[in-house]
Structure 1
Amino acid sequence: MLLGDIVLKNNVSLLFLSFFLFISCDHKHKEYVGNVLPYSRFPQEKELEGEVIELDTALFRYPFRIRIEGDKAIVMDLHGSDYYGHLFQYPSFQYLSSFGRRGDSPTEMLSMENFRLYNHELWTLDANKSELTRLDFSSSGDSLLREETVTLDEDILRPLDFAIYNDTTFVIPDYSGESRFLKVSCEGKLIEKIGAIPTANEKVLQEARPALAQAWRSFLDYNPHNGVLAAVTQLGEVVEVYNLKDSTHVVRIGEHDEPEFKVSDGYGIPTGIMGFSDVQVTDSAIYAVFHGTPFKEIARQSGKLPDGGKYIYVFSLKGEPLYKYVLDHYIYGIWVDEATKTIMATDVNSDQPILKFCFGSV
């Protein structure tokens, strides 16, 4: 990470400036439906110490996501200067190659919001182009090659995350506010709308749905083995668990409540906290990175605070709080291997941004 990027990596506003909305949420006297349940404590809490993985090359400006499959690790750079994705040998983290070249040509990317591994292939999302791109590993396995690009329908508002449902379908958050998620075909066509924003603010839900949907921006993950789709809010403290096999839905709201905004000089200014920044649904649990940093403190410190979250919250596949891990580093993205009891994470504050946590038996 370059010294000139210190301001960039600490500038939290880059992650939520697009969500400055003309809304004001009143959180008093809220009434939720029966599947919305509060939580305030975790039955077990444990401190975890991170092991820094030494890299032999300086590539990253804002290492945001990490995924591992077999002997390959892929790390996404949210603000990559030349490339948005980097491929490494695992577990040595020897650098192999980069992909997702930054640029405005038809084969380049204007942004990368996330990427997914599925059936030994990789899909990326470019919100600025409203495109999903499929890449495949080369025969030698040391690079990723562009195979196809899918352009999303114009009526699918700016997609900021996605998950792969099956061979033919993606799940994308619905920023129109008319539903919570969209099922989209592999040709980019809308198939089905799923759920609704679980807010108690009925007035805003009726009068400013697109604005509310942006305030409820969530990171999501889907596990096809158990059919669980989990979504965690970037602002506030809300965890949603959809079981797409039996159509059940549970919402868990923590002590920091829904995403909070207030109107000031024509802008919607966050008044609550930075919430979650990543989530993974494993075969047995849901793991989410939590920040909990008040916006007032972020503004007061003016870039001096470490960027990221010091907590990993673990929930059951039904949304029940299980574990709270307290970390010795601030992190953004995670990849969990329950077989080895290992969590790999990204740290945007360090020139050595890859960390390894061992969480023992669960």
Structure 2
Amino acid sequence: MKNPINILLLFVLLAACTSVPAGKGISYSDFPKTVKLEGQVIPLDTAVFRYPFRIRIEGGRAVVLDLHGADHFFQMFTYPDGNYLASYGKRGDSPADMLSAENFRWNGDKLWMLDANKSELTGAVFSESGDSLLREEAVTLDKEILRALDFVQYDDSTFIIPDYSGDNRFCFVNRKGKLLRKFGNIPTAKEEALERSRPALAQAWRSFIDYNPKNGVLATATQLGEVLEIYNLKDSTQVVRIGPHNEPEFKVSQGYGIPMGIMGFSDVQVTDSAIYAVFHGRSFKEIAQNAQQGIQVDGGQYIYVFNLKGEPLRKYVLDHYVYGISVNEQKGIIFATDVNKDEPIVEYQMK
């Protein structure tokens, strides 16, 4: 009885979450409070990272996603000691190996990992000794889902995955990988792109997402431009917040969206009381000029904090350029990954 009722409620809910017309975002120009933070580098035991993209801390374990890991995508350590536990997500072609890794999420004791190249979600649990991960299940995603680049877990039986067809914003997928329904729309003011270039528009609007089941808030932050979308899946409301750099800029070439303008957000987390997002704000022209001068700095120097309705609260200015974050509001700590350093994990005390 549980699953049919949940699905019925889900369909009613999604129908109510599609009412915000394109281009109807609320602008913000600045934050009422700006705070500078100095980070403390966390030493890790015997680890070499190529691109530490994401970090998740749960209990006494920290897991880091190395986007370009040579042999494995995931490295696990004890927290707060930083002692190496195990590697997981071996690169390879065998059924248990991974071809790519886009993101990963904790659900209780289970770690879910997304492989876009295999179109697969894998769930793993720690062994009884607690020093290794064991593959428990794999979910092959429906062929109607176009290259899943992120995911969150809505409940024990449902995932939310961004939709890159351009027709909608999200897909709801069950535990067997079957597409249940799509919902939402791309909140662009560019009506011509909506009519003629939906797939390219969807690529340009690629967003990082997070969901908090306690408050029902699903947040998305655009990789290009400066747009934050907040969907409250409990009260069926939606808010779009647009910053000074506006919506993603792109041009269409052979059906693909070529990025222009700026690098926007690179990670987002919804806590019980706020939304935290890493922001870059550097133009592609500036990035190219820096590269020509031998300046290889990657990441964002800002963490933007919004309330659950998307109203700006504060802007943190960091002493590192970071990509991924893990926020612990109870302890007032933000952990971040710095892809430019050999010791990539930085801890910030919030003020």
User: 2:184 is matched with which residue: 166, 191, 195?
Assistant: 195
The gaps in structure 1 that reach 5 residues or longer are 1-31
Q: Is the 8 A contact 1:86 1:99 kept in 2?
A: yes
Are positions 1:349 and 2:326 aligned together? no
* Aligned match of 1:244: 233
Match of 1:280 in 2: 269
Distance 2:112 2:183 in 1: 22
Measured after TM superposition, the shift of residue 59 of structure 1 is 2.4
Q: Does the 8 Å contact 1:87/1:97 carry over to 2?
A: yes
Displacement, 1:208? 1.2
Find 1:166's aligned residue among 155, 163, 171.
155
**Matching residue within 336, 346, 362 for 2:327:** 336
Q: In the alignment, what sits opposite 1:317?
A: 308
State how far apart, in whole Å, the 2-side matches of 1:35 and 1:248 are.
14
Distance 2:22 2:314 in 1: 26
Task: Deviation per CA, 1:108-161: give whole Å up to 9, x if none.
Answer: 000000000012211000000000000011111111110111100111100000
In 2, Cα distance between the equivalents of 1:154 and 1:267?
20
Contact 2:203 2:257 in 1 (8 A): no
Tell me how far apart the structure 2 counterparts of residues 277 and 311 of structure 1 sit (CA, whole Å): 10
Distance 2:144 2:97 in 1: 23
Q: Does 1:39 align with 2:65?
A: no
TM-score of the two chains, using structure 2 as the length reference:
0.91
Does the aligned pair in 2 maintain the 1:232–1:278 contact within 8 Å?
yes
* Secondary structure, aligned partner of 1:141: coil
**Once structures 1 and 2 are overlaid, which stretch shifts more, 51-60 or 196-205?**
51-60
Q: 1:289 aligned to 2:290?
A: no
Matches within 5 A, 1:155-234: 155-234=144-223
- 2:269, 2:276 within 8 Å by CA — same for their partners in 1? yes
Cα 1:44/1:174, change in 2 over 3 Å: same
In structure 2, the residue matched to 1:106 is 95
SS of structure 2 residue aligned to 1:225 = coil
| Structure 2: gaps spanning 5 or more residues | 1-20
More deviation, 153-162/268-277: 268-277
Q: CA deviation at 1:254?
A: 0.4
TM-score, normalised with respect to structure 1: 0.88
Corresponding letter in the other structure for 1:97: A
Equivalent-residue separation in structure 2 for 1:33 and 1:201 (angstroms): 8
Which amino acid in the other structure matches residue 142 of structure 1?
D
The 2-side partners of 1:277 and 1:161 are apart by: 12
Residue pair 1:35, 1:250 contacting (<8 A) in 2 also: no
Partner of 2:64: 75
Question: Does structure 1 retain, via aligned residues, the 8 Å contact 2:217–2:308?
Answer: yes
SS at match of 1:213: helix
- Higher deviation after alignment, 48-57 or 230-239: 48-57
- C-alpha separation between the residues in 2 aligned to 1:172 and 1:307? 26
Aligned residues: 329
Q: Which residue of structure 1 lines up, in the alignment, with residue 140 of structure 2?
A: 151
C-alpha contact 1:35 1:249 (8 A) present in aligned 2: no
Which aligned runs of 4 or more in structure 1 are off by greater than 4 angstroms? 32-35, 263-268
1:255 aligned partner, one-letter code? P
Q: Distance in 2 between matches of 1:88 and 1:268?
A: 38
Q: Which AA in structure 1 matches 2:77?
A: F
Once the two structures are TM-superposed, the CA of residue 263 in structure 1 deviates from its matched residue by: 4.8
